[in-house]
Chain A
Amino acid sequence: MAGELIGNILTLIVLAGLGAAGVLAVILWKKNRASRVSFLRFVIQAVGLAALFFLFALEPAIPLLYILIAWFAATLFLGRFFCGWICPFAFIMDVESVVRRALKIRHRLLPEKLNVALHKGRYLILAAFLLLPIALWVVDPPPNTASAVMMGQLLAGPFRPYSIIIDPLIPPVVPWTGQLILGDINLSYPYVGDIVTFIEATPGQILALAFVAVTLIGAFFIRRVWCRFCPAGASIASLNQFKAFKGVPLLYIDKDEEKCTKCGVCKRVCPAQVNEVYEQKGGKINTSQCMLCARCVEMCPYKDALKIKLANKTVFESRNWLEPSIESEERKIE
């Protein structure tokens, strides 16, 4: 009992330390913006990954449901900031991109129409999974015992509908969700646990392996491929697209039309192939496709043309972008 408590306290200390590290990274970057925001994002992602690891390792583990609620509440105000800056699954994909870039392999683009279709289709996927337990209940009514209990079982049981939203939080390093056994190594991977539980035995294993292979290889060639239709991303941020919720997001990209020459850099560098930043005439960029990763703001060569604003205060703006980046590139050339 005491040992467990000490363990938990230690975990909390590490967690706090990680949080502090993240804050420190932001402060350091704020002081010297010459360092690129992409590097900062990488640091935050790594810190976030470690923090989640400890969060899950905490005994008793914080139920995923609470994280889900907190996450939803945050997306309402921060948009998909979580996806861009913390999500461990996205981090894996970003790491893959870095490897690909190091290997000088070009990235592929999804056809624009498919990209938009996936973006819209994810709501359907989400709805289907959420409704599945209810559908099952209707098709195959449970015995006349307390139906509420049965419903609870369906929702929280082996097939947890909410896990479709929460699962991208499960990066391979979170140990105890591991259902995918390769040789002796117990791996974990988003959705694999569900697939294996739901479809038993070999087919499940094969399907799980296939899923892992497709997403990993896909993400290698197509930047952030999963994010295009990630059901987790189909979050409440999408609500902000409705007029009544327009004022709600506090964190957003702001575009100054006059400063823009429509050079197209923002469109090309976007890892999620978001067109709105390029196409929209100016003002608040309104799309739940955008993960606020700030790559476009970082690469925009016109001062103040793009800004990331938090509650109407500019936190990051495009500069004469050549300033820092070219110097760092210079070192690489010479």
Chain B
Amino acid sequence: MSKEKTVERRYLPEISQKEMAELKNTVKTASQKIIADNIERMKKADPHRPEAMKYFDDIANLFGRRQQEIQAEKERGKKVIGYMCLFAPTELILAADAIPVRVNSGWYDTSKVGDRVVPVEVCPVIRSTIGAKMIELSPFLEQSDALISVLTCDGMTKLGEILSDQTTVWGMNVPRVKDSNQSLRFWSDEIKHMKAQIESLTGNKITRKSLKEAIANSHRATKAFRRLQDLRKANPVILGRDAMLVNQAYSWDDQKRWTEKTEALCAELEVRVQQKDWVCSPDTPRIMLTGTPMFWPDNWKLPALVEEGSPSGVIVADEQCSGERILNDPVGVDEWSMDDMLNAISERYLMASTCPCFTSKDGNEDRINWLLNKVKESNVQGVIYYVIRGCMLYAMEYSRVKKALDKINIPVYYLDTEYTREDVGQLKTRVEAFLELLNARVDF
């Protein structure tokens, strides 16, 4: 018998090195296959895919280039700070010369591993992230020197606690009522506290100048992002999946390079707009996705179904914290003093967010408004409301969203699924029926 080392843990079960290595191996192989498969399907769906997407395909390989880059940076002494919710102030991380990466995991196989810790009723995003940690699969999760866990939904709250078995985890308390002064004060304090924590971990002081630069860089990224979104508003020149991948890649890519590459992609697409070189027929139903975040790679099943089905649709917009919400809101700085910059950061992360964990005087009206606005701006013809089992907040907000969309006569379909790959057949019939319905509306 070989010596098996085990680590004592409060939540995570004892798991032998051998079993871990075996699991890691199988899951890694499977997920590499899924990543390659997804990209292959995207290439097939759009034979004339933009050249600039090559870069994002490369970055999309979670075990590839970016992992090595971060490793190299770490060896040079940079710190990596992982985060699990969009509420983590990435500007502060960047200003402290650390690397922010989002560590939510999108692997189906790791969610099965996570079942050993939490019941299957728990949202698969959580289970999958726990599973990834257990078998040390996710490169970014492993590279993180600290994790920012934002207490938004119940799952996220406990996820941070469970992960704290192995990593430093900083909790950030989010007030649930968004539009009150006391909430903002509370959240500002959290942000200031986070700043101090980041400074002490990295040993770099966040100065006015470095923060200003970080904010300006984020603005540039937002600008590139908005340019891409604007291109999706007219006749489609890019598949929704490609755009979604670009958006999501931001959460682990190098910010400056991402901005450059996205600008390059936009430049390429703008030429296509001029040449009227559409990626699919302009009367393809225009779909918007909303609901639970879809993390790369296993969540790509639904977008793939929408864009490859018969009849097929094209995803032109989304309202997901794994998609457009990542970059939509800029930090609006009035005066470039430290104080105002921090204020601006707190407001951007709290008040501009349309996460369903919030409520306010009018309920979560901001989200409804965002949806209505997107529907109008992007000429959306149908909305797919995507909920994975266990995601309470999104599931519970559905009725209100439906009513609001009914009012403007936009069909919405509630799609309940899981991280599994096995329900693709069922999903397919539903998605295709919905697209058929949209086509029928257009025909008459």
Contacts and interface: CB of A to CB of B under 8 A. Distances in A.
Contacts of A329: 212, 216, 336
Interface stretch (B7-15, B120-128, B339-347): B339-347
B329 interface: yes
Contacts of B335: 101, 106-107
Contacts of A106: 335, 337-340
A268 B348 CA distance: 11
B352 A261 contact: yes
B343 A261 contact: no
Contact of B354 (A107, A261, A265, A333): A261
B352 A262 contact: yes
B372 interface: yes
Contacts of B220: 326
A263 B223 contact: no
B443 to A, nearest CB: 29
A267 to B, nearest CB: 9
Contacts of B208: 104
Contacts of B436: none
Nearest to A279: B179
A323 B223 contact: yes
A259 B343 CA distance: 22
B222 to A, nearest CB: 6
B369 A258 contact: yes
B430 interface: no
Interface in B327-386: 329-330, 332, 334-340, 343-344, 347-348, 351-352, 354, 366, 369-370, 372-373, 376
B19 interface: no
Contacts of B352: 261-264
Contacts of B344: 265, 268
Contact of B351 (A258, A263, A322, A326): A263
Nearest to A259: B373
B43 interface: no
A269 B331 CA distance: 12
B241 interface: no
A330 interface: yes
Interface string A229-268: 0000000000000000000000000000111111111001
B301 interface: no
Contacts of A124: none
B376 A265 contact: no
Contact of A326 (B219, B329, B343, B370): B219
A207 B395 CA distance: 65
B178 interface: yes
A269 B333 CA distance: 8
Contacts of A320: 223, 226
Interface residues of B, number: 37
B332 A301 contact: yes
Contacts of B223: 320, 322-323, 326
A329 B211 CA distance: 13
A268 B343 contact: yes
Given A106-B339, A320-B223, A326-B219, A262 B330 contact: no
B329 A263 contact: yes
A268 B369 contact: no
Interface in A292-334: 299, 301, 320-323, 326, 329-330, 333
Contacts of B354: 261
B213 interface: yes
B399 to A, nearest CB: 20
A105 interface: yes
B332 A268 contact: yes
A164 B213 CA distance: 46
Contacts of B339: 106
A262 B178 contact: yes
A321 B344 CA distance: 15
B149 to A, nearest CB: 24
A261 B337 CA distance: 24
A263 B348 contact: yes
A333 B212 contact: yes
Given A262-B178, A333-B213, 10 more contacts: A101-B336, A106-B340, A260-B366, A262-B351, A264-B347, A265-B347, A269-B334, A321-B332, A322-B226, A326-B219
14 contacts: A258-B376, A261-B354, A261-B370, A262-B179, A262-B352, A263-B332, A264-B347, A265-B334, A265-B347, A326-B216, A326-B220, A329-B212, A329-B336, A330-B216
Task: In the A-B complex, list the 6 residue pairs whose CB atoms are closest, starting with the nearest.
Answer: A263-B352, A265-B332, A106-B339, A269-B334, A264-B351, A258-B373
